[in-house]
Structure 1
Amino acid sequence: MTRLTRFLSGVAVAALVATAGHATETLTISSWAGPTHGINANLFPKLIEMMETATGGEVTGEIKYGLAPPPAQMDLILDGAADIAWIFHGYTPGRFVTTKLIELPGFTGNAEAASVADWRVYKEMFEKLDEHKGVKVIGLMTHGVGQIHTSKDVTTLADLNGLKTRLGGGVVTDVGTELGLVGIQVPAPKVYETLSSGAADAVAMPVEGRKSFKLTEVAKNLYEMPGGFYRGSFALIMSQEKFDSLSPEVQAKLESEVFGETLSRLAGQVWDEADAEGRAATEAASDNSIREASAEDIAAFTKISDKIRDKVLAEIDAAGADGKAAYEMVKSEMAKETK
């Protein structure tokens, strides 16, 4: 081998090593809602873009659908079948306790404010309890305030009594019990089918569902409680093993520029935008109606929400955190974020 051949060979090897060191890591993002849902259409594409920008193209992502039903998303990550997913805490009763705090009715602020506050309280008070054991929490989010959508006209709180209602789990289940709703649990993607078949009379969801899950067609009446009946608590999770496999430099970039409060805030913004679209779709549908709770019904529901709050704070205390202190922190952080 001549000196020139040896030199060129060395250059080729060095180039291969350099290329391998900067190979693109494509993360599999599992999602269970449809492609047009705000999380898939707006949040995940932005997340992919942010990861690419932060890491100089070393990390990207690909959204995949139908890998597992909604309640099995965390197990999907634990099994290594996907790298990133979003989970609704209420789909796995008993697995999460502290996540019910942000679901309580009565907090003032939109989904962005709630998502940011949720992340801050999690880092300050709840992370140590390790409720998401085995996975890395990269963001927390809540949807907009949940309301009741019905296939029949509802004018008072009392009209809800006895309605067969899809309840997602978590605090909304407690709310449903107090209101006399007959709870039906099906994943969000099955809501349209459940309502259209007559298996349910109503669904508890944020207003965004009127567009994303076509509630304007099967639940033409929206009954609104100021501040909502509840919120929904979600986590954006990542395989800890996959994260640990990334270089320390890439990990640091993702942590400082993408994950955590940054991603939580973005997610809340996406939910708020989706709520606005859902309300617009309702207002544009001539056969849809929006009913606001009366002063008497607001007062009656306040008593119910106080009762549920005390129950949840006691559960948080029993789990090993200070429920009242966490509740006050959520209120304070949401106030800071509410403009």
Structure 2
Amino acid sequence: MKKVFVFSAFGMLIAFFGFCVSPLAAQQSIKINFASSLFGPTHGISKMHEEFIGELEKRTSGGIKVTYHPAGTFIAPPQMYDSIVKGIIDVGESACGYTRGRFPLTEVFDFPLGFGDAGTAVNLTRIQNAYYEKFRPKEFEDVKLLLLFGQQSQILHTKKPVRTLEEYKGLRIRAAGTAAQVPPLFGAVAISVPATETYDVLRKGAADGILIPPEALKGYRLGEVVKYTTRNYSSCGGASFFLAMSKKKWESLPPDIQKTIEEVSKEFHVKYGQRWDDIDREGMEFAKSLGNEIITLSPEEDKRWAALARPLVDDYVKRMKEKDLPGDKVVEFIETFKQRK
């Protein structure tokens, strides 16, 4: 009888503590593979991915275990979205512009939107996520979108000073994706060169400049092969990056894990934007430390450049109308959002 009582009491204790453990902590860790297609292990955004992952693992009390693959170790940018859709990777990051035509409505954020100095990555990231919540574009229906982040900082960096349109004309400018449509508007020539070859192309003089965010001045050490940065924020393009999970993986997760992932993703929107602003600032400081000159356009010149860039947005609206997509409403939404303080 005594042995029966001891074992019964022991069993009750196990049951009691079993009920006290949260569902997140009680389950075995669910393994998730996360790949970046653009940012290597030392890049600021790659470090932000690691912080995001750490917060997910912490908030799920070990309910998920994420293995992170920085850029260059798994999947290239053009293949990333399809790899997520097919479940080759559980969570992936890339830029919408690397899969041209796949994200027709969202590509508006690649074009010059005329933000000027207000075009910080924090502001663009807020707008992009607000845009997604409002319009729920069908182009993301085959994945679970976790968050968007972006910038409007694809400004001009050159070997010779560019303060006027006249000095811009005739230059050979490396520009990728949608940004390749920008130089011809200013009478320049767009050159398509892989990012990994850009440093040598500029060093050898095969290109006169590049359209790219300032973070690349330090991150890719481009500040060593250009001498001038023109702050043409009113006429520069940008980018929209996505973090997405395969639908199959998402639907296999318990509801409490899903809820936590959504909460953390929402909290990290602005953190991604702030990190981009930080590395852009670091890039500018690196360039200045090398003796490079940062050029601010005169108000009159800034308006001339912005007027020449605007047709890209107008053309976007026209093309979206032909696809029966609300491009005009999206542009109106962005313009309204820009006015908020």
Deviation at 1:208, TM superposition (A): 1.3
Query: 1:211 and 1:144 mapped to 2: Cα distance?
Result: 18
Give 2:51's aligned residue: 46
Query: 1:179 and 1:121 mapped to 2: Cα distance?
Result: 30
Of the candidates 166, 171, 176, which is equivalent to residue 174 of structure 2?
A: 166
Say whether 1:36 aligns with 2:42: yes
Deviation at 1:323, TM superposition (A): 2.5
Query: 1:91 and 1:179 mapped to 2: Cα distance?
Result: 24
Whichever residue aligns with residue 59 of structure 1, its letter is: I
CA gap 1:130/1:30 in 2 versus in 1, 3 angstroms: same
Say whether 1:149 aligns with 2:154: no
TM-score normalized with structure 1 length: 0.85
Question: Bigger radius of gyration, 1 or 2?
Answer: 2
Say whether 1:232 aligns with 2:234: no
Please show how residues 73-152 of structure 1 align to structure 2 within 5 Å: 73-103=80-110, 104-107=112-115, 108-125=118-135, 127=136, 129-152=137-160
CA gap 1:265/1:180 in 2 versus in 1, 3 angstroms: same
Work out whether residues 125 and 149 of structure 2, in 8 Å CA contact, stay in contact via their aligned partners in 1.
yes
Give 2:67's aligned residue: 62
Deviation at 1:3, TM superposition (A): 7.8
Query: 1:281 and 1:272 mapped to 2: Cα distance?
Result: 14
Deviation digits for residues 126-166 of structure 1, max 9, x if unmatched?
Answer: x2x42134222111111242201123333322333333322
Whichever residue aligns with residue 118 of structure 1, its letter is: Q
Of the candidates 226, 230, 245, which is equivalent to residue 219 of structure 1?
A: 226
TM-score normalized with structure 2 length: 0.84
Moved more, 191-200 or 306-315: 191-200
Deviation at 1:273, TM superposition (A): 0.9
Of the candidates 243, 247, 259, which is equivalent to residue 265 of structure 2?
A: 259
Work out whether residues 172 and 209 of structure 2, in 8 Å CA contact, stay in contact via their aligned partners in 1.
yes
Say whether 1:177 aligns with 2:184: yes
Whichever residue aligns with residue 75 of structure 2, its letter is: A
Give 1:327's aligned residue: 331
CA gap 1:52/1:335 in 2 versus in 1, 3 angstroms: farther
Work out whether residues 145 and 228 of structure 1, in 8 Å CA contact, stay in contact via their aligned partners in 2.
no
Query: 1:270 and 1:187 mapped to 2: Cα distance?
Result: 24
Whichever residue aligns with residue 99 of structure 2, its letter is: T
Of the candidates 199, 207, 230, which is equivalent to residue 200 of structure 1?
A: 207
CA gap 1:88/1:222 in 2 versus in 1, 3 angstroms: same
Q: Aligned residues: percent identity? A: 28
Q: Secondary structure at the match of 1:227?
A: coil
Work out whether residues 105 and 230 of structure 1, in 8 Å CA contact, stay in contact via their aligned partners in 2.
yes
Greater relative contact order (Cα < 8 A, sep 6+): 1
CA gap 1:284/1:45 in 2 versus in 1, 3 angstroms: same
Say whether 1:304 aligns with 2:308: yes
